[in-house]
Amino acid sequence: MKHPKIAFISSLLVVTLSMQSCSSKRTVSSRAKQEKAEVEEAEVKLPQKSDHKEVRVPASKADLIIETAQEYQGTPYLFGGTTGSGMDCSGLIYVSLKTHGISFPRISHEMAQEGRRIGLGQVRKGDLLFFKTSSRGRRINHVGLVVKVSVDDIRFIHASSSRGVMVSSLTEKYWSRAFVQASRFL
């Protein structure tokens, strides 16, 4: 008795499947599967608790500019330089901004005229710090890009004439004394 029921169910299943294969739903189903596969490929895999990999979130414009500047870390100082062979402070900022489609002056005291002046308490990643490092000069002659801000420190990347492209702290006596202004351009 059980065999006739199984035979009936099997034949009903075959008929149903064959009808589905001729219908337009197959195209929609196939298209839906393709779209689902594309979405799954595009999704970011989030780490499991045991997975210690970092999740990368989309970078802000400031993060991208900072990354570009950091690629030059260790580059020797060269007055007027704008390449990996040698670079000065304003050259570093100029190249880092230009790489991301931002047109900016090439000279530090001209850069200081751009953007909006802000107080140190308002500084965030991507802002510019301007300095007067010469006792004889009357104008700004050095610039750095803020890479990290914490409660008690502001770190910036710049091209030092003695050590090349590097990250320094505004808490260092030399830089805190030479500081003139901070500006936001993003």
Q: Is 100 a catalytic residue?
A: no
- In the set 22, 52, 100, 158, the catalytic residue is 158
**What DSSP string describes 140-160?**
--EEEEEEEEETTEEEEEEEE
Tell me whether residue 158 is one of the annotated catalytic residues.
yes
96 burial type by CB count under 10 A (0-12 exposed, 13-18 middle, 19+ buried): buried
**What are the CB-based long-range contacts (under 8 Å, 24+) for 11-16?**
none
Residue of 22, 100, 109, 142 marked active site: 142
Q: Which amino acid is at 34?
A: Q
Answer yes or no: 22 catalytic: no
Q: Which DSSP helix (H) or strand (E) runs through 164? A: strand 164-169
Q: Which of 3, 22, 89, 109 is catalytic?
A: 89
Catalytic residues: 89, 142, 158
